[in-house]
Structures are given as C-alpha cells and as structure tokens.
Amino acid sequence: MPANLTPQYYSAEEKYKKGRSAEEKIEGLQEMLAVIPKHKGTEKLQADLKKRLSQMRDESLQKKKQTGGFNPFHVEKQGAGQVVLAGYPNTGKSALVAALTRAKIKVADFPFTTAVPATGMMPYEDVLVQLVDTPPFTAEGLPPGLTGTLRNADAILIIIDLNSGDCLTQLETSRHLLTERGVIDPEGESPLALPFLLLGMKADLPDAAANLEILAELQPELKILPVSVHSELTLLRETIYRLLDVNRIYGKTPGKKAEMERPFILKSGSTVLDLAYQIHRDFPNKLKSALVWGSARFDGQAVARDYLLQDKDIVELVI
C-alpha cells in the first residue's frame, strides 16, 4: 500500500465504495484522484484509478447510447447488499442461488444453462441480501457485459465444482480472470477490489473430499469453503452476510418505539453523520446529536455526530 494517504483520500475512497450507482462511483473516483497525494509512492494507484475512471465513463456512456434499451447485465441493487456469483459452467451457481432464495432459477446438468444474470433475495436474520446468478465464463473469456456486473457488486462468490477433475483449473483461471479485470485482488492492495469467498460446490459427491485435499495441498494459503445444496446452509448464509461488512441500524423517532423491522444498512465504520446522510441528503446540516441504545455506555446515551455506530444499534437523531 502506498504511504501517506490522507484522511481526505480515505473519505473519497469511502464515497466510492458506498456509491450505489455508476454516477456515484464515478464521483467518488474523481474525488479520490483529486485529493490523492501526488508522489512516487502513489503513482501505481493513480494509474489504476485513472484506468477505472475511464472504464466506468465508457460503460456509462455506452449505457446511455442504448436508446431505452434494456441491459440485462446491469442489475439494480436491492436489500442489504449485492453479492454476485461467478464461475465456470455447470459448477452449481444457479443451484446455490435457488437453494438460498425463493427465486425460480433454471438448474440443469449441462453447461451454459444460464444466459443472463438473474437475482434472488436471501433472508438472513432481519435483512435480505441480493444474490446474482450469472452466465459462466471459461479460460476463453467472459461473456460481454459480465465484467460490469461483477465490478458493480458489493462482494463476489467464486464458485468451483469440487467433484470435477477440472477444479484446479477452475480455481486458478477464475482467480486469474477476476484479478486481471480488477474485480478482486488476492494481494489485498487495490482499493477498488471487492471482498470475495471461494466456494467449493457439490461437497456431497464422491470425489469432492479428495479434490478439496489436493487443492489445499497445492494452494495452502487459499480458504475454500465446501458447500452442498443438499445440506444445511445456515452457516453459509451468515458467512455471505458477514462478507458485506455492514451494520444494521434501527431508527427511532422521539417518544416512539424503535423501527425494528426495517434496519438501515451502513458500511461498518459508519458514523451517526453517515446515518443522517442516508436518511436524507440535507439531514446532516440540521443534525445536532444523537441518542444511542446498544453500543453506547448506557441506554439512550447522547453521542456526537462522529460517533462510530455498531451492528444492531438503535439511534434517535436529534435535530
């Protein structure tokens, strides 16, 4: 990581990461470039940011040109976060989305069943996480449009078939393709990269255990989670939710009970001010302080605007 990045830079980076539309992400990138300290140590990062900015502008222009055309590879975000599945043909992407959500999705024992992205909402405790099933890729490349779908996600699930003799190639090629396109960064250095998990599907089938052992020996630094759609998926739901790295915050109006049914979703590390901003763009100007139940030292404690919120806090904003 280059040295000497400033708080302004990190706050612009936050803006990029929190951006839900292409426009918001472009704004974040522009700000990152404007405030990044210009010296040798940040040259590579500056180049990466410029490249991503120009790619995002091109994509956005392309979208506008499609006169009223529907782009199936642009998936509108819903719920607590968007998690996109990616992998080789026939590895079990559609089967997993079908098992975790109520979406009616075509699953079949032949490759290239899925032609365009499809979504389903995965319940986890009191929130819904959006899962996006995608058409497969191979060493020959990605379907046109898929890179955009992946980059726009909040997190990625890389799916391999543990029962296949091809699983090492699937693992290595998937990681390589997604790294090359700037979707993930196994080195953990790029601020533009997304969090991801490696899921080894079909763990119930005969060759899966031996293949998993081989993969673990060849790639000991990688953590592959064995998964079967025929077994309990409770832990996987939680793992997917945690990957989003968000907090649930319950709003409360004075004199009333907290709204426990519909939490606000904020990136972890967010403050009272971030919550106010999410409720209404003008709110932060009016905000004086807030009362917090949960992470505060005592119930209903008055806190400052920069107070760091924690998962499941109840917050009453004082204006």
202 lies in the binding site for ligand GTP (CB under 6 A): yes
Are 196 and 155 in contact, with CB atoms under 8 Å apart?
A: yes
- Nearer Cβ to ligand GTP, position 201 or 249? 201
Task: Give the tokens for residue 22.
Answer: 């292409």
Residue 112 touching ligand GTP (CB under 6 A): yes
For the chain, how many helices (H) and strands (E)?
Answer: 10, 11
Q: Say if residue 301 is exposed, middle or buried (CB neighbours under 10 Å; 0-12, 13-18, 19+).
A: middle
| Residue nearer to ligand GTP on the CB measure, 31 or 204 | 204
For the chain, strand residue ranges (E) read 82-87, 118-124, 127-133, 155-161, 196-201, 224-226, 246-252, 264-267, 289-293, 301-303, 313-318
Residue with tokens 């990681």: 175
- 223: how many CB neighbours lie within 10 A of its CB? 9
Question: Taking CB under 5 A as the criterion, which residues in 80-109 touch Mg ion?
Answer: 94
Q: Could you say whether residue 204 binds ligand GTP (CB under 6 A)?
A: yes
Q: Rule CB under 6 A: which of 113-172 touch ligand GTP? A: 113-114, 136
CB closer to ligand GTP out of 146 and 201: 201
Contacts of 187 (CB under 8 A, 6+ apart): none
Using CB distances below 5 to 8 A depending on partner kind, what does residue 141 bind out of Mg ion, ligand GTP, none? Answer: none
Give min distance, CB of 121 to Mg ion, in A: 18
Distance between CA atoms of residues 61 and 35, nearest Å: 25
Q: How far is the CB of 80 from Mg ion (least distance, A)?
A: 24
Least separation in angstroms between CB 196 and ligand GTP: 16
Q: Please give the structure tokens belonging to residue 24.
A: 């918001």
Residue 244 to residues 81, 205, 237, 268, Cα–Cα distance (Å): 7, 29, 12, 9
Candidate ranges 21-29, 30-38, 91-99, 122-130; the one touching ligand GTP (CB under 6 A): 91-99
Q: Which does 202 bind (CB under 5 to 8 A by kind): ligand GTP, Mg ion, none?
A: ligand GTP
Min dist. Cβ of residue 78 to ligand GTP (A): 21
Q: Which residue is nearest to ligand GTP (CB)?
A: 92
Task: Give min distance, CB of 206 to ligand GTP, in A.
Answer: 10
Helix (H, G, I), strand (E, B) or coil at 241: helix
Does position 149 bind Mg ion by CB under 5 A? no
Instruction: Say whether 98 sits in a helix, a strand or coil.
Output: helix
207 touches ligand GTP (CB under 6 A): no
| Interface positions, 107-126, toward Mg ion (CB under 5 A) | 113-114
- Beta-bridge partners for 265: 248
Choose between 94 and 190: whose C-beta lies nearer to ligand GTP: 94
Question: Residue 29 or 159: which CB sits closer to ligand GTP?
Answer: 159
| Residues at the site binding ligand GTP, with contacts judged by CB under 6 A | 89-95, 107-109, 111-114, 136, 201-202, 204-205, 228-230
| Residues at the site binding Mg ion, with contacts judged by CB under 5 A | 94, 113-114
